[in-house]
Structure 1
Amino acid sequence: MERSRKRNAEVTRARILAAAKQAFSNTGYSHTGIREVAALAGTSSTLVLRYYGSKIGLFEAALRDSMPDHEVVRPPYAEFATALTKMLRDNPGATDSMLMIAMASGEREAATIAAQIFTELNIVPVGAALGDPDGKVRALQMAILGIGFVFFIKHLPLTIFDERETDSICDWFTQSVLNVLEPDRRIH
């Protein structure tokens, strides 16, 4: 009986986190409520609060859960940049963390937590993988490119662009990421 209860709790927590990622990435921190997340997860707001303590606790857990593993940032960088573009364009779940970060900026407490988690789980490991002297700077440059790309391609789709133009924007993004990853190849 105890094992079944624990398994159900894990399943419920996973449903809550999935619902929170969906809500925070679609409507932002300030426009997402505990009741909305609970309804999306098919549970009660009381249970959400029992597991995560508060809306900000839920946001932190959802953001941590949505952050990708950055061990894949390694040469050959052209392949990485191409795969990154494809993943961000085609995989909706891959963009949750970026949209959650971008849309938390209007709420001080959420922005502070987003900055802390993003630094810990993205800037520091990607910067270390890229190495000195400017790995952290290049990690942030890639993040700036990525968040902007995701925001305009996925969250705020500009319908004036046809498929060919969207492909051109994706090619630009891929090349821009590659320029950050291989700064010695840049034209100054």
Structure 2
Amino acid sequence: MKKTKYILNAFVAFAFALLFTQCNQKNDSSATTTAPAVAGTNMKIAYVEVDSLLTKYRYWNDLNEEMIKKEENIRTTLNEKAKELDGEMREFQRKIENNGFASRERAEQENARLLQKQRDLQQLQEKLYAELQAENQKNSLQLRDSINSFLKVYNQSKGYSLIISNTQLDNLLFADKSLDITQEIVEGLNARYNPAPKK
């Protein structure tokens, strides 16, 4: 175990030393590139702040706004139906307390009808939210496809070997701001986006 630890420590120390010495060497070819190359390679790397991209990308904002409206409509529909059912159940309870049904069978029929209506409402809720979730997933795939297809075209002229996504320090703990291409990507995506006319 100790031997493995020493080997790992030596490897890490060697990697840092190599990285430090290569960063200090002046390389004329790196001066002509727009992004720094990884030490010892010709790899160009950049990153995109995903949170900033999503807040500024009009396509995503339009999709998000549409989904919020759909969710509000679902909530309104379900609340109206629940309020109606609640009123009917209170009326049923009032009739029970005041012997308002002609027979016990009639009260049982009304109770069964209200229970079925309650089950129907629950099924409607599950159905509507499942449809909303499926549409959310579809939108996420469309967003990813939109960004990926743009990056393929964008990178033909830029020549990056690797473009990394970063979400609030999710994977990327530190990066030089000169590697951040978020604004370029947002501008390119928004220039390419043609929103559908609003109804």
Which bin holds the TM-score, normalised by the shorter protein?
Answer: under 0.3
Higher helix share: 1
Higher strand share: 2
Q: Which has the larger radius of gyration?
A: 2
Whose relative contact order is higher, 1 or 2, with alpha carbons under 8 Å and at least 6 apart?
2
